[in-house]
Structure 1
């Protein structure tokens, strides 16, 4: 009997504790109405470790009834709901006239418009205090003219929304799951990664002091990225195009790397262009490119624009992150994984390859990658005629012939005249000698 009473007492204590825990839970939903007639909206009370704050630029609202906006802040996303009767006048706003940052609606019904975004999306701004992380959004209303009138009857308006999180704590009581790229890593990549293209000397030891080449020369091009304090990275050249202007979309153009890292120049033109073996520093990739000019174009300047991409060095290469070159009838990868080059003769489609690309450069396995463009300009000249060296011979000299005299700058007529004069002189000397000989001889008896 005593044991039964103890069991009932223990059960009663557990029920009381559970009831207190349920009462202490606070919903993550926050609803706020801005004050009427210019008074700022009251800041919402903190929600357990995360809170949504809605503030209105009240000077823009001149109606008696304030708008109603709800915001829900999650671990990595925000949802904003807006009543279509934004000004409380009974006149419903048009869905096309309101945006969250630069993002359009995610859904709607007859009375409510809904926006959904990741915390880093829709033009959000991150700020930090000693105790909080704050993601700020702007809900922008810009009325369009009433059809066939060219007039509007409401003012533009801005509603400021904040998601506030306590620093050094998870947003919810759930365990933290690393299933999304942190905002800090994405931001650091944008701020610190510096992509570049450089023309290098023949031994790749330093940048080339001149960008002038002749047809028949080769260009040593080095792509690189300055990773600063980032995690170890591996660089790829996604695509490269040559143009006569600095606009990579201008015409004429020639794509010599395409299909997500395939060096198609050597395959299409039969050139000797190739990648160098991957340097020990995998943040660099070196390319040897045969010089070329655009046909019938007097402009000798050519702009080479490449789209570069990096992934974490620890991640395996695949058919979208590769550096491949033709070798005979097949393709070879500078990273040793030739199987990723099998699509270079067709199309390395991201929707049919070894992975699917998602938002923010992540695939279904959340592969981290960052990308950027780099450009370098060169001048490719035609070799002048006098640049061809003379042919030397070891043949012995022979007396000048008429052709030799012409090659030496003496005309055939001059040679002939000199011969005639010499013959006449010899004849005159012979005649004169005969006459003098006869006069000197004594007469015979």
Structure 2
């Protein structure tokens, strides 16, 4: 791109929600850094989202997002001499919170390069459409940066697993792993021998007897699992059968959650440990809620995925 493209960046000033808050927006060529500073004590900074992205870092008073424009479902609009990237900073309130949910526009405007023309472009500013959802799930390499090259895992090592959903124009959704079992076949049968990994509406029960855990989220549309290799099917081909659910992040309860067991602390909610009481039912029975298996429901959609085969070997 021409050097002049990055001149004259317009930072749109945003109206703050209260006199206690201050926001700084730094628009760079390929990414944006947003810093929200809160002087009050009633706001839970972990509940801020930039589009579909979770905070990059959180301190006692600040929440920081440092993200690429290709992430978080930024919309891109080319109009006249300008190239505009737009998104929303959203605060997701909870039933117990005194602070209501709110949303801020986040806009970066650049000079449009004279030699830049999109091949296909459909401007999208309404992120609450009913677009189709596309799910992905697979075994990953050690740092989750790409698909696994090897599918043989020593007993006790970690099996990196990642699932994601492409949301197109749909509102930002939270991806959850509701169920996951290991089996020796790519299809489940009534007589199949199973090893349960996730059950009870999102409880990682394997974490009670192993070091398995959900990894911290970077995007609401992704979920990462470090699964400790188990003895089930040792030396043979193993398949994981999982149920993915893309859900409204404001509709979480004890039936839609991601919980893992953390040492002496007990069950912990992945997305906000302060509300780990949603995981209390993991040792008993979590209620059920009706959701559509096909088509888009009011709060979300479920999808079945089969991962594998892979092999677990002796250490």
Structure 1 length normalisation: TM-score? 0.38
Distance 1:262 1:229, change over 3 A: same
State the Cα distance separating 1:294 from its structure 2 match.
2.6
CA contact (8 A) 1:307 1:373 kept: yes
Structure 1 residue 322 displacement after superposition: 0.3
Deviations 1:69-104 (A, max 9, x none): xxxxxxxxxxxxxxxxxxxxxxxxxxxxxxxxxxxx
The whole-number CA distance in structure 2 between the counterparts of 1:317 and 1:358 is 14
Q: 1:214 to 1:360 in 2, by over 3 A?
A: closer
Q: Please say if residues 293 and 380 of structure 1, whose CA atoms lie closer than 8 Å, have aligned partners that are also in contact.
A: no
Q: How does 1:231-380 map to 2 (within 5 A)?
A: 231-249=171-189, 250-267=191-208, 270-279=209-218, 281-294=219-232, 300-313=236-249, 315-327=250-262, 328=264, 330-336=266-272, 337-350=275-288, 357-358=289-290, 360=292, 367-380=298-311
How far is the alpha carbon of 1:292 from its aligned partner? 2.1
Q: 2:136 aligns with which of 196, 200, 204?
A: 196
Q: What residue in structure 2 maps to residue 205 of structure 1?
A: 145
In structure 2, relative to structure 1, the CA distance for the partners of 1:306 and 1:381 (3 Å cut) is closer
Q: Cα RMSD over matched residues?
A: 2.6
Verify: 1:222 aligned to 2:162, yes or no. yes
Q: For 1:360 and 1:208, how far apart are their aligned partners in 2?
A: 32
What's the CA shift for 1:360?
3.9
Aligned to 1:439: none
Match of 2:66 in 1: none
Which whole-Å CA distance do the structure 2 matches of 1:359 and 1:211 have between them? 34
1:311 and 1:359 map into 2 onto residues whose CA distance is 10
Q: 1:286 to 1:359 in 2, by over 3 A?
A: closer
The CA distance in 2 between the partners of 1:375 and 1:205, in whole Å, is: 20
For 1:237 and 1:359, locate their aligned partners in 2 and report how far apart those are by CA, in whole Å.
Answer: 15
Deviation at residue 215 of structure 1 after TM alignment: 1.6
CA contact (8 A) 1:195 1:373 kept: no
Output aligned runs, 1:157-172, within 5 Å: none
Which residue in the other structure is 1:142 paired with? none
Normalising by structure 2, we get a TM-score of 0.53
**Contact 1:275 1:325 (8 Å CA) reproduced:** yes
**Hey, what's the Cα distance between the residues in 1 that align with 2:216 and 2:240?**
21
CA distance in 2, matches of 1:254, 1:359: 25
Question: Take 1:221 and 1:206, find their aligned partners in 2: how far apart are those partners?
Answer: 11
More helix per residue: 1 or 2?
1
Q: Structure 1 regions of 5+ residues with no counterpart? A: 1-186, 351-356, 385-445
In the aligned structure 1, how far is the partner of 2:305 from the partner of 2:151?
A: 16
Which structure is richer in relative contact order (CA contacts within 8 A, separation 6 or more)?
2
Deviation at 1:367, TM superposition (A): 4.9
Shift of the alpha carbon at 1:309?
A: 0.4
SS where residue 343 of structure 1 aligns?
helix
- Aligned 8 A contact 1:242 1:248 in 2: no
Cα distance, 1:376–1:252 mapped onto 2, change above 3 Å: same
Shift of 1:378: 3.6
Query: How far apart, in 2, do the equivalents of 1:261 and 1:216 lie?
Result: 23
Cα drift, residue 286 of structure 1: 0.5
Deviation digits for residues 294-333 of structure 1 (CA, Å, limit 9, x no counterpart): 36x76x11000110001123x1421111000112252100
